[in-house]
Amino acid sequence: MKYMFASDIHGSAYYCRKMLKAYEDEGASRLILLGDILYHGPRNDLPKEYAPKEVIQLLNEKKDHIYNVRGNCDAEVDQMVLDFPVLADYALLELDGKTFYASHGHIYNEGNLPPLKEGDIFIHGHTHVLRAEKKEHYTILNPGSVSIPKEGNPPTYAILENGVFTIKTFDQEIIKELTV
């Protein structure tokens, strides 16, 4: 199966549309969102076309395709308008025969790792910085940010297919690849 990972939409209708188009173009089976869906947060500038109500509508149309974990900018009020679960702090996913521990990154992160077994994969957002790196006992992944990338990165998402994690721009440029 093919999975798409994305994080940190932060209420940008512009980048949400780009993300959903990429999801369709990629032909992925599931869209796994790593938090910070609607609100831009007090430390971020408003993203391009900040329109949380439009983001709600766009994502609700894909509710049966989405897995999501809660970000630090996501709140209980968001669950009142989104038609898929958004308040779980983490998710354990068995993908391509590997265990993925998915979290936003504000609770569990490299400084406070979740319980990982040898060979597990920790995937998160939150930093807005893309990453794909094998550590001594685990792999750490971050698809970057859909709408407010940091450290000079472009807006990105990631695809997992046949054991390969590929971080891409919305122009299909491959930024980083890692076999997990």
DSSP string, 40-82: --TTSPPPTTB-HHHHHHHHHTTGGGEEE---TT--HHHHTT-
Q: Which of 42, 45, 102, 108 is nearest to 73 (CA)?
A: 42
Segment 26-38 mean pLDDT = 98
- What range defines the domain where residue 72 resides? 2-179
The percentage of the chain sitting over the pLDDT mark of 70, rounded to a whole number, equals 100
Q: If you average pLDDT over residues 77-98, what whole number do you get?
A: 96
pLDDT at 95: 93
Q: Number of structural domains, the chain?
A: 1
Q: What is the CATH number of the domain that holds 72?
A: 3.60.21.10
Over 90: is that where the pLDDT of 96 sits?
no
CB 105 within 8 A of CB 125: yes
Work out the mean pLDDT of the chain and round it to a whole number.
96
Q: Which residues have CB under 8 Å from 20's CB, separation 6+?
A: 31, 58, 62
Percent of the chain past pLDDT 90, that is, above it, reads 95
Local confidence band at 43 (pLDDT 50, 70, 90 cut-offs): confident
Contact 160, 167 (CB under 8 A): no
pLDDT tier, 118 (very low <50, low <70, confident <90, very high otherwise): very high
Express each pLDDT in 123-154 by its tens digit: 999 999 999 999 999 999 999 999 999 999 99
| 3-state secondary structure (DSSP) of residue 118 | coil
| Confidence at residue 166, expressed as pLDDT on a 0 to 100 scale | 98
Kindly report, residue by residue over 1-28, the tens digit of the pLDDT.
Answer: 999 999 999 999 999 999 999 999 999 9
Q: What is the pTM of this model?
A: 0.96
The residues, ordered by sequence, that sit 6+ positions from 170 with a Cβ below 8 Å of its Cβ are 18, 19, 21, 22, 155, 156, 157
**What pLDDT is stored for residue 30 in this prediction?**
97
* CA-based radius of gyration for the chain: 15
pLDDT for 1 equals: 93
Q: Predicted confidence band at 56 (pLDDT cuts at 50, 70, 90)?
A: very high
